[in-house]
Amino acid sequence: MCAEKIQRLIQASILGFVMGLAGSGMYAAAFILQFAMMVMLVIAGLTGFCPGLIMLKKIFPACKCEETNEKDNN
């Protein structure tokens, strides 16, 4: 499994956790986690900087499609 897919699974798990918090009435914690995730996704989308993905790429290989895109850009 590649780093980008693992990152998406982690994001889905965090969103599920946030939904669980909201469902159990912990609205403040759910809001804070949701807001933090939104900020990180906006930063990653605008700048390409994603600390979580950088760490995951040190442990797991990058996806084949990303390796192909990097070769095409060079």
Sequential DSSP letters for 11-36: HHHHHHHHHHHHHTT-HHHHHHHHHH
The dihedral sign for the CA sequence 54, 57, 59, 60: positive
Please check the confidence at residue 70 and state whether its pLDDT lies above 60. Answer: no
Residue 35 CA to chain centroid, in angstroms? 13
Residue 21 CA to chain centroid, in angstroms? 19
* Per-residue model confidence as pLDDT tens digits over 10-63: 999 999 999 999 999 999 999 999 999 999 999 999 998 888 888 888 998 888
- This prediction has a pTM of 0.74
Cα-Cα-Cα-Cα torsion 39, 45, 46, 51, nearest 10 degrees, comes to 70
Q: Where are the domains of the chain?
A: 3-73
